Amino acid sequence: MFENTAEKMARTGVIPVITVKNIDSVLETAAKAIEKGIGAVEITFRTTEGLSGHRMIAEAIKSVREKYPELMVGAGTVINAELAEMAKNAGAEFIVSPGLNPATVEWCLANDMPIFPGVATPSEVELALSYGLTYLKFFPAEALGGIKMLKALSGPFPQVKFMPTGGINESNYKDYAELKNVFCVGGSWVLGN
């Protein structure tokens, strides 16, 4: 499910994760992505400002989509269905979550919104498969055993592809990207964000 979106992300290879400080800084970072030939970014809903912070992040997503329509924009750290709806309304083209929240997944499926939920265990992979999802985030990758864990998961789950994030950096991302069950990697190091 959501193969077309995953294939576009795979062509990018590395998805920069952008934390919003303000809208201008996100626009600058998006411009850097385009200059470097990067075709997709993930703008995270990480904030300590509650609803007002989430609204600013949604506005940042909308601003990037309007100013740089050639850039694929996803929303990250989407931890509930309300944020998924806010992201979709802002123009996000995909959702990435740190975990697998059934309510969020069900909202995304009902609203034809590509979602890549985070998994950390074989049981969570099985839950994702029960929803028809075969492209998943693997988070936090390094803390969970990284490449060794992904290789171990490839045996029982040959149909699943992962986007590892968490501890991925300039020195190890190529090792992850070479794995057959990895469709792209994500990280904040890419654009110095």
Q: Which two tokens stand for residue 27?
A: 């626009």
Beta strands in the chain, from DSSP E residues, in sequence order:
14-19, 40-44, 72-76, 94-97, 115-119, 135-138, 161-164, 185-187
Distance, in Å, from the CA atom of 44 to the CA atom of 49, rounded to the nearest integer, reads: 13
Of 66, 67, 93, 137, catalytic = 137
Rg of the chain taking only CA atoms, in angstroms? 15
Contact call for residues 39 and 62 (beta carbons, < 8 A): no
Catalytic, 42? Answer yes
Catalytic, 137? Answer yes
Distance, in Å, from the CA atom of 184 to the CA atom of 57, rounded to the nearest integer, reads: 24
Of 28, 42, 142, 174, catalytic = 42
Catalytic residues: 42, 137
